Structures are given as C-alpha cells and as structure tokens.
Structure 1
C-alpha cells in the first residue's frame, strides 16, 4: 500500500465514529470506514477563492505553454515533460506533450548520460512511440554487461530501472537492466548511500516503478521532492498544487453524489451481507481517470462497480445454488417480468439494477446508448460466469489450473469495467476505440492481472464460504508445490501480462488514451492488492491515501 509519509495523518476511525460508519459484517467483511462522511463533509476554507485559483491557474498554463514554444533544447524539453507528468498536470498539456515527444522521436538523440537516455526512452515508450533498447548498448562493455561505472550513478540507475519496466515480450536485455539496476539500488538503500529526495524516490520505485505507479499518489509525493531538484521550475509546482485543489473540490462533489446514491440503494435493497465499499469503488474509478470533464463517466463507472459487488457478494457469500440459478435466469431475461423468479430478498436489488441501467441510458447522448447496452450484455455475461463458479462449488469440482484461469479471468470484471469507462464520453471515444476496449488482448491481460493479484491476496486472507478453489490452490494441487512456489509462478505470469499491456501502447498508438485507461486499471489492481493485501475487501488499508486524495487540500 502506498504510504503518504510526509505529513501526519490522523486515524480516520476517530473522525468517522459519529458519521454513521457501518459495523463489521459477517463473512469476514469489514464495515465501511467512511460511512456517511462524504455526505456531511465540509471542506476546509482555502486561503484563496475558487475563482482566484482558476484565474491564477489559467495564467500559469499560458506561461508554461510559452515555455514549450520557446524551448529548443531536447534535454530541457524532456525534463519539462517529465516534471509536468510527475506533478500530475499532464492532462492540461496533452497537445504540447504529444507534439514535443513526436518531434523528439523524429530527431536523432545522443547523450553520454544514462539518466538522459533512460528518460528519453521512458517518455517515448510511455506515449506509444517505439524506440529500441539498443539505446542502452553504449553503457555496456564488450561482453554485453553494463559497465561498472554505471553502478555508481544512483540517478541514472533509477532512471534505467523505471524505463526498463516498459519492456515487451522477448526483450531480455531490458529484463537484465531491471535486475542490474534493482540490485544496485537496493545495495545503495541498505548502505545508506543515497541522499534526499532520491531515497524516497528509490523506495517508491522498488515497490512501484514509475510506469506502474499510481500517478495521483506519485504526484503528492513529488510535490515536496520537485522543489529540492536543481533547476526546478516554480510555476510548474504552483500550477500543480492549484490544479490538485481545484480537482479535489470536483471530486468531493462527486463523492457526495455517489455516497448519497449508495446510501439510498443500500437502505432500499436491505442486503446486510454486502461489502459497503462505495468510497473504494469511486477511488478505483478515479484511479483510472481523474480529469475534470469526466464526472459523468466516473460516477456511472463507480455505480457499475457497486452493482457488480452486490451481485458478486450474493453469488459468493449468501445465495444457495438454487437462488444463484434463479438470479442468473432473471438477469439474462433483463425484464421486470422476471421478478417473480427471484427469492423475495433479491427482488429490490433486481429492480434497482434494471432502473440504474435505464438511468445510464437517459444520461448519455443517443449515439452512446449502444455503449450502455453493451455494458448490460457484459453484466449479463458476468452473472453467467459467477453462476458457473457457484456450480463448481456446489459440485465440489476441483478445476485444472488452466480451467480455473479461463473462468476466473472472465469473472475478473475487467471486460465490463473497461466498457463502462467509455460511457458518458461522447464522441471522444471513436467506434474503433470502443471496439478495441471490448475485445483486445490488453483487456484479457488486465483481467489476468486482477485475477492473479486478487487470488494471491485472498489466499493469505483465507477463503469465504462461497469461494471456489483459486488459481493459487489449483496450481499448488496440480503441481504439488507450496504456496510460495505458486505465488512465484503467478507473479511471473503477471509480468508476462504487463508486457502485453506495454505492447498495446506501441501497436495501438492512435488509441493511446483508451489504452492508457486499461493500463490505469492494471495500476489500480497493483495498488489495491499490493504486498498480498486485499485493500478492497479490507478498506481500512486505504484510509490514509483516500484522506490525502479527497479530504486534505495541498498547502500552497
């Protein structure tokens, strides 16, 4: 779990005790640590008005655009792009960044600095512009190994380490770069040979290399570190803080809306066995896209997350096999005439499910209604796959490892969520982009990452009564190995899927914004299930980061 360690954080449980936090539930599910907090929360009064902040931000944006136009030095332009992205304001300069990197990609770049070459490599590959790993050959000896001098350059090693994580399949030289740089960075950390702020940056990178880091949390960390860097540009930091606080105000309004929706839904359907995870659902959606103009999409996607959780918990933690079959039959019919099929306790959920998808249709333009219909079909497919898992459990079926991976990839929710991220975005999502989001190999890669990370965390947590044998257990049984060996195998498979995601950047450069949403989903998976913890089922793990993102404004 990412720790925001530079300022003291009050334990949330004390603050929320009077705000309706739900009690702990049966079946190993914690109650929500947030309760009604975001319904009643009043943000602290900022020193400056929203209007002043917007005017100031607009002026700074123009000054930074002038910097883009006036800079002709490649390294200077790369540093500008890197700082803007790491400070979390890349969304404000998408055109400038795209043009700058396109120009750099077309021109020849030579440098004797490992840091500069690695930065060049990472920025271009992150934006779907292919460059060969041969760029690092100049730092290797005749035997193909990195020269000893490189091992004494902490900044260069860190840049190499971060860049190499953009590798694709069959790039052993970048695997070697990761191993080499990780070894020496760990040695430097153990020997206390690093200065600030490099210590913090290396520590974070060893947990989450930059291409897999949660960008908003990284930005919060980088705010204090950037001003310690030689040659930092103060107006970038000023704009980043202004933008963060302005967006936080928007996100708080969304959290209030979504929390009120969930409170009404939760109270109406009356299913006490559910995980109360609305803030977590919103946080996951926010991790995929936080930009100002995507409120409708964020809220719809968070609601779909919540509806999935209700269905998942019903299949896994409560319903009998007969009730599971009836629930799936009703969902496949998708009509109010199916209500009599259901046990009485599920009727209200089913009514709300149908009504919410009707509401989604009413919220979007005519040309987007087919996206809602496609999301509905994915929801129906997900129900079918949940029922298959329930049937396996009912039959005491022990699947093979491959059988388990095939079915559990389909129950991962990745396909439905990726489709949901296209709803409410109008013409910004082309037909080609939508089709890619529904059927690409990158979506399957993302699904496998969530399945393997979830299963590793769940194995440590212990099974609930409705859980089938996980990929960990199936691998252990099939190969007669320990859990640690199984973990190692799954982590290896996760790395393979990340290579597939990286490949999608270069193969579908023209669809990069949509590809990036899928990458962001995978990043969120790593964040929620890092260190073998399940921060979705046990949301107390997320208290500090949620408070840092949504409750505490950044000091300006």
Structure 2
C-alpha cells in the first residue's frame, strides 16, 4: 500500500496539470470534460479545490464556451458536470439538437456515445425541464436497439446496458468507477497516464477498505447474534459497509465508514426484530427503553430483545468514545443522534400499530411517518458524523428543520421500499405498505396503484434535483453530498426488488467487485 500511495502522490501533480486554467473556450470545455473523467474514474476527491475553482470560473462563460458546439457528448457531459456540482445550467442548451418538427433529430441515434450521455443528463431534470423529459423518452426508446446493433462497439454496448440498469446519477460512485475504468480502457482515445492513475488509486482504495472490513468483521462477530437471537434477522454487515463506502469512500474517512457501518447494522437488526418477530407490545417496550436510554432498562425486555437494546447502546457509546473527526464528538451531537434514533423508533412503532391492527392511515400521513421509518433520515444524521465541527452543526440544524429536499428523499425511499417489498409484505399479512393504503384510499387495483406510485417516484426525482440546486446556493457541498449518496443507496438497494434483503444477486456482485477482485494494474 505504501508503494501505491507514493505512486498516487507522484502522478497527482501531472493530472492536476491537465486542470490548469486557460482563457480560451475550447480549453475550458476540455477541462470540464476532464472533470467528468475524474468523477467517473473515482479520482475527483484528489482534486476537489481545482474542480470547484474550474467550475466557478467556467460557469459564467457558458454561453461563449458552447457557442456553435453541436457535439452531443460534449454538451451533455458539460451539463451533467455542472448540474451534479450544484450549478443550475439551463436545459435550453439541448434545443440545438431538435429538428424543425420540434423533436430530437433522428440523426442523433447514430451517435451511440452521445445518446447514452443524453440519457445520463436527462436524469438531472427538474419539474420545469420539460425538454429533459423528452430526452429521456427519446433515449429510452432507442438505446436498447443501439446497444444490440453490430455498428456499436462492444464496450459502448456494455456502457449503455449499465446505464439503462443504473444511471450514473443514481449509482454509488465507486461501483460506477469500477465499471467505468474498464470502459475507459477500451476507449481508443484514452489517456494512458490517466488510466494508470485511476487503476492505482482504485487498488489503493480497495486495500484500504479490505483492511477496515477485517476489523469490522471481528467487531461484528463478537456480538454472536446467531446464538442470541431467533433466526429472523438479516446478517448484512458487509452490505452495510458498502453503504459506508458509498457515503465516504476516501481513505481519510476510515472512522466515519466504521461508524456508518455500525449504525446501519443496528437499523437492520432493529427493523428485523420489530417487523418480523416482535409483538406490538414488545415493540412498544423496546421503544420505551430507547426513550429512557438507560442501560438497566434492558432488564424489563423479553430475553431475546435484551441483546438488541444492548447492541444499540454499545453502537452509540462506541461512536461517542471513538469520535469521528479530529475534533471528536460533542455531547450535543450525541444528543442529536439519539433524538433522530428515537424519532425513527417512534415511527416504527406507529407502523407496527398500523400493520397489526385494522387502522388505515391517510396516504399522506403514511408517507410522512413512513419517511421517518424507512431509515433515510436517521441515516442522513449518521453521515454528518464525518464532517468537520462547523459543517456538522450546520448539517444537523438543517436536517432537524426537515426541508423539502430532505422530505422528498424520505418519501422516495418509502415508496421504492414499499413497491419492492409489497409481495413479501402481503404474503405475511403485513398491512403497512403504500400500495395497500393507496388501493384502499382511492379504490384502485394493484396494477393501477403501482403505476401511480412509479409516477410519484419520477416526480420526486425531479423535486430532489430541483431542491438540490436551490440548497446548493447556500449549503456547503459536503453536507448536500451526503444526502445525495443516501439517495444513491436507496436507488441501488431497490434496483431490481429488495436487493439488500435478497443479497445473493447484485449485492454479491458489488461485494466481489469492491472487496474481492482487486483491479488489475
């Protein structure tokens, strides 16, 4: 690892030289295209200041920079970069790709790389970016056939299929980087030095994560839940570490990754205990213990629940004892984390009351409380542990106010969770599901309910993008970035059903690509 670290430090200034400021429009365009490569290859964290300086300087020159630019890949990529970094670049830039009939030109279909870039850009649309709705429809209709035509290079076909399965906007950065490094290597015009740098960096990250996983595995095994709990719970510590890597992949965030992994395993155990095994009165007893938050409270719980409460107590104490950033954790931060945990558990108790009784909540009430129960919000609180003291305090105050951006993320998480788990919920008589309550409130069929909820998710995606751009004008990027990454966890966890619950599929592939198969140098 030391040798890899030295190589990274030696190559870093060379790559940084590619970002040197220039006044000409073509050079500025090239710099932004390089930023896209840095993001896609997993190198952006090494050049945070340079990237921000470049985008800040370039945003005011957009009109001149894109004057006469008709290359689809170039325009889409520049748009993707600016929107991803919180700059509200106008979607009117895509009007140049329409014909006299007001529709996207059919000739664009011949540009496979440009089409997949347009598809990626379309996922960054807001509620008023109607042209991006058209772009998404246009690309979705054509990309599958483009991927299968003999004229399309095999590596671009793979890139298209990967994008159709999980757009970059929704994908974990390191999962995407692992795929994109392979794609970039097959590009005829790839920069050999940049490719080498990306591989060395990714190998260094993998070795860092593997070392941490060894420590976390020992930590997890000491609880020995298999002998202490009935066999109702999901053993998902490694999957929880993927969540942690999604939030903080950079080497310097080792303690933050460990804390997020521990909290995520806690929420899994709590959810499985209350959702799949405990009676309503037992759930109420557990929530009461957490409200009291005293170590002796566990003695009043059923025997099988006592290790669950002890685990919760230990996870919070471990985060308090270790600290996350150099400043450590203040008492106030611990109090805020515990309060978010209590809010989550109150929502969970409410869910169990709905699930185990004949009470049918109003659909909006269900979504509001369901957004708390689905662990999106409490997980966002945990991600702020890795921030510096100032940003952390700002982040917690912002989270507590439950802004529209946060609520949209929570609602989206609730809906995709319920759609993925509907069949399982109904098979075991679990009534607390948005599909079920939507059908009851509006008197529609299951198929109609699914169709409406899918529309809601698409609308929430636009609201999330819109509110992100608004919040980016005042909030530090490091705060917003954590929320974006929580959204990504939701997206890839429910891509093809409940992948986190049924982890033999895609999650197994993720584990292998990140922690088992080291990237070849």
TM-score (norm 1): 0.86
Secondary structure in structure 2 of the residue aligned to 1:197: helix
Select which of 344, 363, 367 maps to 2:322: 363
**1:302 to 2:261 alignment:** yes
CA distance, structure 2, for counterparts of residue 446 and residue 505 of structure 1:
11
Q: 1:385 is matched with which residue?
A: 347
Select which of 52, 56, 66 maps to 1:102: 56
Mean alpha-carbon deviation: is it higher for 322-331 or for 262-271? 262-271
CA contact 1:386–1:411 (8 Å) conserved in 2: yes
Q: 2:243 is matched with which residue?
A: 284
**1:522 to 2:476 alignment:** no
CA contact 1:162–1:205 (8 Å) conserved in 2: yes
Q: 1:555 is matched with which residue?
A: 520
Tell me: CA distance 1:67–1:520, structure 2 relative to 1, closer, same or farther (3 Å): same
Secondary structure in structure 2 of the residue aligned to 1:535: coil
CA contact 1:321–1:390 (8 Å) conserved in 2: yes
**1:236 to 2:194 alignment:** yes
Q: 2:37 is matched with which residue?
A: 83
Q: 1:63 is matched with which residue?
A: 14
Mean alpha-carbon deviation: is it higher for 395-404 or for 288-297? 395-404
Tell me: CA distance 1:468–1:265, structure 2 relative to 1, closer, same or farther (3 Å): farther
Q: 2:87 is matched with which residue?
A: 129
CA contact 2:94–2:131 (8 Å) conserved in 1: no
Q: 2:107 is matched with which residue?
A: 149
Flag the structure with more relative contact order, 1 or 2, with Cα contacts below 8 A and sequence separation at least 6.
Answer: 1
CA contact 1:126–1:505 (8 Å) conserved in 2: no
- Give 1:347-426 correspondences, 5 Å limit: 347-364=306-323, 365=327, 368-426=330-388
Secondary structure in structure 2 of the residue aligned to 1:203: helix
Select which of 316, 321, 324 maps to 2:283: 324
Q: 1:488 is matched with which residue?
A: 451
CA distance, structure 1, for counterparts of residue 209 and residue 148 of structure 2:
40
Select which of 513, 533, 537 maps to 2:478: 513
**1:293 to 2:252 alignment:** yes
- Give 1:207-218 correspondences, 5 Å limit: 207-218=165-176
Please report the RMSD computed on the Cα atoms of aligned residues, expressed in angstroms: 2.1
CA distance, structure 2, for counterparts of residue 231 and residue 428 of structure 1:
43
Secondary structure in structure 2 of the residue aligned to 1:540: coil
| Deviation of the 1:63 alpha carbon | 0.7
Mean alpha-carbon deviation: is it higher for 417-426 or for 142-151? 142-151
CA distance, structure 2, for counterparts of residue 469 and residue 437 of structure 1:
26
Q: 2:270 is matched with which residue?
A: 311
Point out where structure 2 has 5 or more consecutive residues left out of the alignment: none
Tell me: CA distance 1:338–1:157, structure 2 relative to 1, closer, same or farther (3 Å): same
CA distance, structure 1, for counterparts of residue 390 and residue 85 of structure 2:
18
Tell me: CA distance 1:155–1:171, structure 2 relative to 1, closer, same or farther (3 Å): same
CA distance, structure 2, for counterparts of residue 218 and residue 241 of structure 1:
14
Q: 1:458 is matched with which residue?
A: 421
Q: 2:407 is matched with which residue?
A: 444
CA contact 2:419–2:450 (8 Å) conserved in 1: yes
Q: Deviations over 1:448-483 (max 9, x none)?
A: 222111111112445464733311122233334343
Tell me: CA distance 1:473–1:327, structure 2 relative to 1, closer, same or farther (3 Å): same
| Deviation of the 1:238 alpha carbon | 1.0
Q: Deviations over 1:411-443 (max 9, x none)?
A: 011111000011143337253233224433222
CA contact 1:285–1:298 (8 Å) conserved in 2: yes
Secondary structure in structure 1 of the residue aligned to 2:385: coil
CA contact 1:162–1:211 (8 Å) conserved in 2: yes
CA distance, structure 2, for counterparts of residue 525 and residue 88 of structure 1:
20
Tell me: CA distance 1:398–1:245, structure 2 relative to 1, closer, same or farther (3 Å): same
CA contact 2:4–2:204 (8 Å) conserved in 1: yes
Secondary structure in structure 2 of the residue aligned to 1:290: coil
CA distance, structure 2, for counterparts of residue 409 and residue 63 of structure 1:
46
TM-score (norm 2): 0.91
CA contact 1:442–1:518 (8 Å) conserved in 2: no
Mean alpha-carbon deviation: is it higher for 257-266 or for 63-72? 63-72
Q: 2:432 is matched with which residue?
A: 469
Mean alpha-carbon deviation: is it higher for 398-407 or for 200-209? 398-407
Mean alpha-carbon deviation: is it higher for 200-209 or for 504-513? 504-513
- What is the number of equivalent residue pairs in this alignment? 506
CA contact 1:450–1:525 (8 Å) conserved in 2: yes
CA contact 2:421–2:498 (8 Å) conserved in 1: yes
Q: Deviations over 1:478-521 (max 9, x none)?
A: 33434332222222111122222212332122422221221111
Select which of 54, 62, 74 maps to 2:28: 74
CA distance, structure 1, for counterparts of residue 404 and residue 427 of structure 2:
31
Tell me: CA distance 1:156–1:428, structure 2 relative to 1, closer, same or farther (3 Å): farther
CA contact 1:455–1:470 (8 Å) conserved in 2: yes
| Deviation of the 1:70 alpha carbon | 6.5
| Deviation of the 1:142 alpha carbon | 4.1
- Give 1:193-272 correspondences, 5 Å limit: 193-267=151-225, 270-272=228-230
CA distance, structure 2, for counterparts of residue 530 and residue 356 of structure 1:
29
CA distance, structure 2, for counterparts of residue 359 and residue 382 of structure 1:
20
Mean alpha-carbon deviation: is it higher for 540-549 or for 484-493? 484-493
CA distance, structure 1, for counterparts of residue 95 and residue 33 of structure 2:
23
